[in-house]
Amino acid sequence: MNSSLMFSVDAWFYIYFAIGAMVVFLIGYGIAKKTQKQDSGFSFILLMSVVLFTALAYWFNGAAREVFMGTLPWLINLVFGGVLLIVFLAGSKMIFKRI
């Protein structure tokens, strides 16, 4: 395999997080624009981002075990991911207030 494409498990965690956040935001934004209701779009973003983060945390738990990641790095990554989720939701809410 190409070594430039080899990322660590925690790097994949953040890559998947970013991709999921972009997709969820774009769909939620589309819902808000189509329905002209900011609450509908943000509710979608809130629900789907929590569901996706839970699924991502479940995946990360298994992947971290396979590479024998220590407990502290695993916990730090999940806590930081939770903080990023809160920042993402707060930023989305601010953007939706301007729609």
pLDDT in tens, 59-89: 998 888 888 877 888 889 999 999 999 999 9
3-class secondary structure, 75: helix
Full-model pTM: 0.84
pLDDT of residue 5: 62
How far is C-alpha 60 from the chain's CA centre? Answer: 12
Q: Are 38 and 99 in contact (CB under 8 A)?
A: yes
Read off the amino acid at residue 49.
S
Tokens of 55: 């699924």
pLDDT band at 4 (very low <50, low <70, confident <90, very high): very low
For the chain, how long is the longest CA-to-CA vector?
48
Tokens of 65: 């075990």
CA dist 93 → 1, 2, 33, 37 (Å): 41, 40, 14, 13
pLDDT of residue 63: 85
